[in-house]
Chains A and B, each alone.
Chain A
Amino acid sequence: MTWRTATSAEASSAAGARTAPNTDPASAGSVFAAARDEEAIRGLVIAARSGDEAAFVSVYRTYAPDVYRFCLARVGRPEDAEDLLQQTFLRVVEALPRYEDRGLPFGAWLFRIARSVTVDQHRRRRDELSLDTEGGEPNGVPPAPLALDLGDREMLLAALASLTPDQREVVRLRFFADLTARECGLILGRDEAAVRALQWRALAALRRAMDSTPPAPAVRHVQRLAVT
């Protein structure tokens, strides 16, 4: 099946006017190209909640690439990000009947679920790792030396590792999940101005991290990526 099939068009027409999402990964470079039409999304969500399959597919295709980017920015491994994307939408299916539009944009609701799914997975992994590493390095393998040929993705993840947790999260939500400052604020429990200030500090810290020698957290992150 090629991406963006007729089903997408059917879904769009079934649900009324709607900005076509850019769901083609190959053309996602310009993105976050199509601004989300909140009204149309709301209509799709209501239709999906009452069992409209085409509307659900439309919602999925609108958000799935961003959910994947967000998850990948959190976990670093594409296979884990794919798994988290699946888990996120499975949980959306479960929770959709309970979704109520009370001024909370659907995107904020969805990424709350995505965050929760990644946090759960991180906890599970940490527990597993703590069992695996009891009495030594994982599987007895010492940390690998710093990789010399890491791609930009790994390098950016390493730089992100040097930020504070809040700064990291605002970068992920704003630039990987493509949420607005208001939506980020609803997720992080801050107002819009605070999100913008946090973002400003995060970008400045990211620039410093990239201009300087790699800070210790970044080195550890790169080592972990090299091992995994």
Chain B
Amino acid sequence: MKMTKIVRTTADLFFPFCLVFGLYVVVHGHLTPGGGFQGGAVMATGTALLLVARAYDDVTGRIRKGAMKVCEAAGLLIFLCAGFSGLFAGRPFMANWIARDGALFRTAIAHGPNAGDLNTAGLLPLLNFGVGIEVLGGLTVILLYMLSGIKEEKKK
């Protein structure tokens, strides 16, 4: 099923903005409302938009199911590795060990309202990123699987 040219062009135009906004929500998860789950869902919405506007075969050329599966598994692996990394630092599982004495994301912030700094929060940005690409991959794979049965009817 193919929509009109107007819908297709609008979907094409909005797709990159969806991805960028989702990535913004994921990356700023420790500063602003939102986080990995919400940002990943926003990014997957871009795929849904393309799938609604275009034929299934048009979309699979741009979004590969295999790559999305890799995204999903890699997201969970990042989460697990970040969780286990606390053990190597001599802290418990899932402990936020780089918030105080790591190399990255360690800027200390004052208590109370402040301007916010991306380079804070220790392990949280990493975990947010892992969950973000996992949700992106998972929801996209579900969408592609469920809509793969829709085929355009051939005209006789």
Pairing of A with B: no
